[in-house]
Amino acid sequence: MLNPEKPRILFLFSDTGGGHRSAAEAIIEAIQLGFPDQIDLQMVDLFKEYAPPPLDLAPDVYPPLSRMPQVWKIGYRMSDGRRRTKLINSVLYPYIRRSIRKLIQENPCDLVVSVHQLMNNPVARVLRKYPIGFVTVVTDLISTHAAWYEKTADLIIVPTEQAYMRGLDLGIPADSMRVIGLPVADKFRLQAGGKEKIRKHLGWSEGGFYVLLIGGGEGMGPIEEFARAINESFHDVSLIVITGRNTQLKSKLEKINWNIPAHILGFVTNMHELMRASDVLATKAGPGTISEAMICQLPIILYSYMPGQEDGNIDYVVNEGVGYWAPDKGTFTTTLRQLIDNPQSVQKAKESCLLLARPDAAIQIAAELVYRVNDIKLHQDT
């Protein structure tokens, strides 16, 4: 039951990619840790729970669509930009406004926080008729879609200076944005002991060079191809492969005749331990994974990306010295060999991670939101 005396924050997300949910959960966790029992908190999947057809199918459509990157790229390019986004919002709003009003009526709150870009403008337009604050937390690192930048939002929290500059280019006032970072779970921030201690806890050999190969929660990308390449080209590494919810991939990998120590895992909840115990991460260019790896001081090899929102992540990782771009087997194995043979390169990348990481982002965002919602509540009561 809601406590009418407590300020209330409503988080809007959707499972169109894992980053939106995990960002909201990280902020909620930080609020609960830093301000226990002070704020009522709720998460709502805006598309699945309130959007009219066919928008309510977005969480189900995303996984298969994400496996068609060129189709995704066309859609992203066609919708990005100030004028195009404005046109889409003008068409979308009459269709979606009743659903958003129902959302607000059924989920009374003092502050709405959006961690998903696609409905920011329609939500903001509905909220103008209510005494409710509106904050957006951008969950893309560099190549941020124009839909993230809603001019009427009270605040837009961005993860990088590049995302901040993008907002300025789109006409967002400087004082309406803050560069804080991408929120990640508190367990990535906390030290869980040294590398060898974690390896012992995980049952790994305490020495050696460990490669962590992942493809997100859905186990996407050329994971099998790269795992086989490592198995065929190296004798002096250990391999950890995370297949996520891709049970078919897990089964295939388990049948390989491994020449090296290999651990094949499905969906895991201890990624923070796996990252801190490994020497290099091979992954697609997802913003959350990149941020988590930097916090864990884990050098990165990027092997693929989602066109559109992950375009800039490759240059970001490479230019800032935290990792490498290796989209094919040849480049990948060459890059990995260079890292194994040159420990100084690994150490340099780790130092760059330390400089670039924003481990306290969730804590800072939580403090900002709590301050704002308390201020809103105070003015409502008076």
Q: 38 pLDDT exceeds 70?
A: yes
Could you tell me if 255 and 333 lie in one domain? yes
Of the pLDDT bands very low, low, confident and very high (cuts 50, 70, 90), residue 2 is low
pLDDT tens digits for 311-357? Answer: 999 999 999 999 999 999 999 999 999 999 999 999 999 999 999 99
With residue 134 as reference, give the H or E element that holds it. Answer: strand 133-137
Q: What is the mean pLDDT of residues 120-134?
A: 96
Could you give the count of Cα atoms lying within 13 Å of 220 in the half-sphere of its Cβ?
19
Closest CA to 303 of 286, 316, 288: 286
Helix axes of 343-356 and 287-295: crossing angle, nearest 10 degrees: 110
With residue 325 as reference, give the H or E element that holds it. Answer: strand 323-325
Could you tell me if 229 and 344 lie in one domain? yes
Could you tell me if 49 and 156 lie in one domain? yes
Could you tell me if 124 and 196 lie in one domain? no
Higher pLDDT, 121 or 72: 121
Could you tell me if 350 and 376 lie in one domain? no
pLDDT tens digits for 224-278? Answer: 999 999 999 999 999 999 998 889 999 999 999 999 999 999 999 999 999 999 9
pLDDT of residue 216: 72
Pairing of strands 262-265, 280-284: unpaired
Write 62-68 long-range contacts (CB < 8 A, 24+): 62/15, 62/16, 62/17, 63/218, 66/17, 66/218, 66/220, 66/306, 67/220
129 in any annotated domain: yes
Residue 300 burial by CB count (10 A; 0-12/13-18/19+): exposed, middle or buried? buried
215 in any annotated domain: yes
pLDDT of residue 59: 80
44 in any annotated domain: yes
Could you tell me if 316 and 369 lie in one domain? no
Q: 1 pLDDT exceeds 70?
A: no
Q: 96 pLDDT exceeds 60?
A: yes
Q: 69 pLDDT exceeds 90?
A: no
1 in any annotated domain: no
Order of strands, sheet of 209-214, starting from the edge strand that comes earlier in the sequence: 262-265, 237-242, 209-214, 280-284, 300-304, 323-325
Could you tell me if 28 and 172 lie in one domain? yes
pLDDT of residue 219: 62
User: CA 44, CA 53: separation in Å to the nearest integer?
Assistant: 17
pTM exceeds 0.75, yes or no: yes
Of the pLDDT bands very low, low, confident and very high (cuts 50, 70, 90), residue 17 is confident
Could you tell me if 39 and 65 lie in one domain? yes
pLDDT of residue 16: 82
Could you tell me if 160 and 226 lie in one domain? no
Work out how many domains the chain is built from and give that number.
Answer: 2
Domain that holds residue 145: 8-182+360-381
Kindly report the CATH number assigned to the domain that includes residue 302. 3.40.50.2000
pLDDT tens digits for 200-229? Answer: 999 998 889 999 999 876 667 789 999 999
Type of residue found at 205: S
pLDDT of residue 378: 84
2 in any annotated domain: no
Could you tell me if 155 and 25 lie in one domain? yes
323 in any annotated domain: yes
Residue 301 burial by CB count (10 A; 0-12/13-18/19+): exposed, middle or buried? buried
270 in any annotated domain: yes
pLDDT of residue 369: 98
pLDDT tens digits for 270-307? Answer: 999 999 999 999 999 999 999 999 999 999 999 999 88
How does the average pLDDT of the chain come out, rounded? 93
Could you tell me if 106 and 174 lie in one domain? yes
User: CA 8, CA 42: separation in Å to the nearest integer?
Assistant: 8
3 in any annotated domain: no
Could you tell me if 142 and 254 lie in one domain? no
